[in-house]
Structure 1
């Protein structure tokens, strides 16, 4: 199974910054040690043209040149640097690469990504560019031509966002786009405090535990099944619904997170819909909890990837 990363582009964060940048390198190390069948590959950067499928040219240029107004940079939550801009491009590139492989092999993933708070013209909440939106639109563009050389119907993409925070940027970018379905399960009282209406938003109370969460997920997937038939799933497998997350406010156990992942991977597998996944959020009080949750997601994904390989022609 292919896995794409860009953790060697390290953001020079100030001492005491609350974003756990080390988690990406640590996850890559764990995958190399414990899941050697996962093929780790460096992600290529997304081009200006690819980013422009979901972002305004002015915003793309401001990130490249470091000319965002101070308030806009603070909203992102990272100080600008060349490494920040490069890493943001490569995080998008990793999701693009994972989507391309998933459409061929059934499953692939990004060791980072899930930057769902980025809007077309601004970043927010540790999100610079919206990898989900760029990848979805690029896959639609690449899959648009039919074998006869004409233009076929657009690839239908379902975004299953199970980060603890609502994917407000993704919902805003795809508002009114019938070819993309945005589903989000998130904390009702968590960031962003002003939500954007997606196609299906499920708000959960503080302290929500495994049974309540999994019941809500089952209902949401049933609704998705009734309303939309995707040709590609983009799954944000956030570790931040875990009970030990500093920013989560929900109370899922590791078993609950594994059951969540299995349900999503199985939903796509049963319908033979290719799936690309990203790690999205994870801010454990003990970083080992975040890494355990993420490693479990990759273990489950590897099991479903093996199923896909058994049915390939």
Structure 2
């Protein structure tokens, strides 16, 4: 069964002024339920993640200061959110959503989080609307507790997964692959194991050609036992914070390629939604919904 992490606090714990396009966290499950892609049985509400699992990835001092609202004004500005106890609680629920989705992926082949993809959070700092790194936390959980020996991170958000790259810089068991806008945030990039920076206005044809020529080769070379897929839809031409030129149909083909490769290779995969900032919320929801529709069709 497809299991999807979702909680009302994904959207409702955010500060005023940050709720669009975060309304997608409510609208997306509503759409999937309405059209019959999923039922309520597919959804699970994660609980807050334990401190010990967080500090297995993040610096304990940083986590203590973040949890107790002790970051400096400069540090807070870099995250993009005014901090509150509710916001921190939201973050640790999202983190456990990805950890639990990874455990469901081991059982069913795929697990998904309607939130997550917080790839700009570093070991000891947050930035870019990311306070903690859900992919980093969940990957380390699998390495430590589930005997997984090699993980591939496929980050296809329009922004480089700089925090994830930093977290796993010295970890050979995790291969980080980021294909992103070369002229987009973050302006100072980290070094992933493989980075493919794309020129502005890259269209469906060019994007999909690169991905088809890259991802199967990575699977052959790295022989991962598990995949984390950051499926941000800010690659769309309509995205306010992206600079690429993809259509909703092209974004769907991107997701189909990744998920079909995982399914045919019998690789469990956890999907975190990542970014999406198009002016029309309908474009965001439709592009994200395609990921879930494909997951249901391909794996079940």
**TM-score bucket of the superposed structures, by smaller chain:** over 0.9
CA contact 2:69–2:83 (8 Å) conserved in 1: yes
Distance in 1 separating the partners of 2:171 and 2:46: 28
What stretches of structure 1 move > 3 A for 4+ residues in a row? none
| 2:25 pairs with 1:24 | yes
- Which residue of 124, 127, 135 maps to 1:124? 127
- How far does the alpha carbon of each residue in 1:141-173 deviate from its partner, in whole angstroms, 9 at most, with x for none? 1113xxxxxxxxx52110000100000000011
Query: CA shift at 1:19, angstroms?
Result: 5.4
- How far does the alpha carbon of each residue in 1:219-252 deviate from its partner, in whole angstroms, 9 at most, with x for none? 2213312420111100011110011111011011
- Which residue of 161, 164, 168 maps to 1:167? 161
Query: CA shift at 1:298, angstroms?
Result: 0.4
2:218 — aligned with what? 224
1:140 — aligned with what? 143
Deviates more, 1:108-117 or 1:60-69: 60-69
1:302 — aligned with what? 296
Distance in 1 separating the partners of 2:110 and 2:125: 30
2:228 — aligned with what? 234
Query: CA shift at 1:177, angstroms?
Result: 1.2
- Which residue of 89, 92, 96 maps to 1:93? 96
CA contact 1:8–1:25 (8 Å) conserved in 2: no
CA contact 2:216–2:261 (8 Å) conserved in 1: no
- Which residue of 258, 275, 278 maps to 1:284? 278
- How far does the alpha carbon of each residue in 1:192-242 deviate from its partner, in whole angstroms, 9 at most, with x for none? 011111111001011000000001111221331242011110001111001
| 2:63 pairs with 1:60 | yes
- How far does the alpha carbon of each residue in 1:119-159 deviate from its partner, in whole angstroms, 9 at most, with x for none? 01000000010000000000111113xxxxxxxxx521100
CA contact 2:59–2:124 (8 Å) conserved in 1: yes
CA contact 1:120–1:173 (8 Å) conserved in 2: yes
Between the two proteins, the alignment pairs up a number of residues equal to: 296
Structure 1 residues 225, 18: closer, same or farther in 2, change over 3 A?
same
CA RMSD of aligned residues (A): 1.3
- Which residue of 31, 49, 54 maps to 2:52? 49
Distance in 2 separating the partners of 1:36 and 1:5: 13
SS at match of 2:87: helix
SS at match of 1:183: strand
User: What's the TM-score, normalizing by structure 1?
Assistant: 0.92
Q: Where does structure 2 lack aligned partners over 5 or more consecutive residues?
A: none
2:8 — aligned with what? 7
User: What's the TM-score, normalizing by structure 2?
Assistant: 0.95
- How far does the alpha carbon of each residue in 1:6-39 deviate from its partner, in whole angstroms, 9 at most, with x for none? 3325234233x48522111111211221223461
Q: Where does structure 1 lack aligned partners over 5 or more consecutive residues?
A: 145-153, 307-313
Deviates more, 1:60-69 or 1:186-195: 60-69
